[in-house]
Chains A and B, each alone.
Chain A
Amino acid sequence: MPNKDAILSFEDLEIHFTLRGQILRAIRGVSLDVARGEALAIVGESGSGKSVFTKSAMGLLDANGSIAGGHIWYDGKDLAAYRTEKEWLTIRGKEIAMVMQDPMTSLNPLKTVGDQILEAVLLHQGLRGEAARQAVLEALAAVGIDDAPRRYRQYPHEFSGGMRQRVVIAIAVACRPKILICDEPTTALDVTIQAQILDLIKQLQKKLDLTTIYITHDLGVVANVADRIAVMYAGDIVEVGRCEEVFYDPKHPYTWALLSSLPQLGVKGQELYSIKGTPPNLFQEVKGDAFAPRNPRALNIDFVERPPFFEVSPTHKARTWLLDPRAPKVEPPELIRHLRQQGGSRHV
């Protein structure tokens, strides 16, 4: 049964891709509740399945991919059972909208920016004529684009990267969605612009009462925006908790590794921490903890049996045998033990 407080609820989700006759298990039985109004960040390396996972809730899987098991509950409906494009159109954009990574490729270069937002307004807000035009101008102003009437008539190439991403956000928000998925919204942008865009999404979330899901590979970026963080590895969520819990008290060795490899924590003259090895081949059955082969301090049982979720606090759980009462005590790496103080003393 779906969780009552959750706006979107993934239950035991399995996603398979068929590639050259072989089956790739991209998502391996993931359950996750997204609470109404929260900002959730899903963090993982490329290939971890974080994009596939969220795309499945919008019916955007590639043709060779399919939901092989489990449910996606939204508003009492099971999206995992949706098959036709017609069914998906009642969800996509209208209920769940998405901001993609690269604003250069997600906008149509042949249409003016205003017309592209207008499309969303006509389709989802039911406005016509001058009223629709006004709504577009308001949408432009709402995402911080000055001189909206002139900008309305311009093409994407006349916008800078940051401005383009604002337009993409304006389009997504013009659909009046309940959930906004931001897939690496700032990866293609400069650091200064990145901070501004994250700020904008945060404001819109508050103003429009949105639920936001961020997808990113960079833990550094989400500290500012996320209420909760889910860490994904090899098609499975290995740790989930409130933002402070994941940063200040991470439990899974993979979360430790991700945090340690942030260049912000690098000490000059020393090697930066880097995760050895490569993610497992998901064409094959993953045995035990998927991260064990890359984890220098893996326990024997990590190679044999998949760990269950152990609860650290009511809001924080991790899939690692280290939390089993019988496990030896393993401390997180020194580098990430004092993130709280480090942030404050870094600069300024």
Chain B
Amino acid sequence: MSDTRETLLEVRDLQVTFGSRRHPFPAVDGVSFDIYKGETFGLVGESGSGKTTIGRAIIRVNPVSGGTVRYQGEIISGKVSREVDRKVIQEIQMIFQDPMASLNERAKVDYIVSEGLTATAGHLSEGERKARVEQALSDVGLLPEFASRFPHEFSGGQRQRIGIARALIMQPKFIIADEPISALDVSIRAQVLNLMAKLQKERGLTYLFIAHDLSVVRFISDRIAVIHKGKLMELAESEQLFAHPLHPYTRSLLSAIPMPDPVWERNKQLLVYDPAQHHYSESNPPLWKELEPGHFVRGSEEELDIYRKML
């Protein structure tokens, strides 16, 4: 089935290292995955797992120290030509976690939303620019007159909509959403998720949706990758992942999802993941294997055999 889908983004053996040369810290270590056109790809892990770093490496904020990122077949990691750089800036956009911190509080919405345009589309006249801002605002369900206000005049949900409008105005093909709803109230989360789903349907957008909460990701994602300490643990279609979680870390994440059911909650067993259980060594290295179509998991030969039986 994967043959019919067009790959938009291809990440191969991605490495991002922080720290000094003497004390390197691999934040992302040998991560490979594809994102297909028009899908939502969920990337789930706890803080410090490197999920945000992957997003930032794709959009060229964090330099990669190994591996490649291809966008529409073209390498966009490392040194690239000016045109490719431009293309990435315009076609890949980001939505950030905290709408309080990610909007310039001294700038009006009008400026915030159109800042990207002035950087890339310098030929726009003032009238055209204004029209594009109004269009972007109404696309995310805000009133055009909000353009003349400051971010502090808005609620959290509205601010996140401004953040989305800022991404949309660039007419991107691919949006990296880094925990776009973690800072919002439950009732507002639904609105923002619905908006993102609607925009995707209308414009054929592709999303990389980064989150720490599997329950949210399940609803919006077509496929989900689980990351822990810079390495992918498991990757599968969302329903497959929920039906047959193989890796113990995935299972611990699933067990932590709070359910709105007191009886269930009281009897629930929290699974705690202990990386020491794997006993990986030189002779028993972890592999990244596809156990059923589209379902990848990390494990040693021995573990993979066990996982196969679980399917």
Contacts and interface: CB of A to CB of B under 8 A. Distances in A.
B82 interface: no
A261 B253 CA distance: 21
Chain A interface size, as a band, is 35 or more
B171 interface: no
B66 interface: no
Interface in B132-187: 155-156, 185-187
B215 A263 contact: yes
Interface string A235-277: 0000000011001100000000111011111111001111100
B218 A268 contact: yes
A346 interface: yes
A46 B259 contact: no
A194 B47 CA distance: 12
Contacts of A346: 259
B112 interface: no
Interface string A66-77: 000000000000
Secondary structure class of chain B's binding surface, majority of residues: helix
A261 B215 contact: no
A115 interface: no
Contact of B258 (A160, A195, A196, A244): A195
A45 B185 contact: yes
A268 B194 CA distance: 11
B254 A348 contact: yes
B295 interface: no
Interface string B206-248: 0000001111101100000000000000000011001101000
Contact of A262 (B186, B245, B266): B186
A344 interface: yes
A294 B131 CA distance: 32
B256 A263 contact: no
Interface in B251-284: 252-266, 268, 270, 273
A247 B48 CA distance: 34
Contacts of A274: 187-188, 190-191, 194
Contact of B261 (A191, A196, A258, A343): A343
B270 A339 contact: no
Interface stretch (A11-19, A220-228, A282-290, A311-319): A220-228
A343 B270 CA distance: 15
Given A247-B261, A263-B215, A224 B266 contact: yes
B258 A223 contact: yes
A343 B193 contact: no
A217 B258 contact: no
Contacts of B155: 46-47, 278
B214 A191 contact: yes
B37 interface: no
B187 A261 contact: yes
Contacts of B291: none
A272 to B, nearest CB: 4
A268 B197 CA distance: 10
Contacts of B273: 192
B253 A257 contact: no
Contacts of A194: 256, 258
A342 B257 CA distance: 14
B212 A259 contact: no
Contacts of A278: 155
A220 B260 contact: yes
B254 A195 contact: no
Those 10 A-B pairs whose CB atoms lie nearest each other, nearest first: A343-B261, A343-B264, A274-B190, A266-B219, A224-B265, A272-B190, A190-B46, A220-B258, A223-B265, A343-B259
23 contacts: A45-B185, A46-B156, A191-B213, A191-B258, A192-B256, A195-B258, A218-B186, A220-B260, A223-B258, A223-B261, A224-B268, A259-B260, A261-B189, A264-B257, A266-B190, A272-B190, A272-B193, A274-B191, A340-B261, A343-B264, A344-B264, A347-B242, A348-B255
Interface of A: 45-47, 160-161, 190-196, 199, 217-221, 223-224, 226, 243-244, 247-248, 257-259, 261-268, 271-275, 278, 336, 339-340, 342-344, 346-348
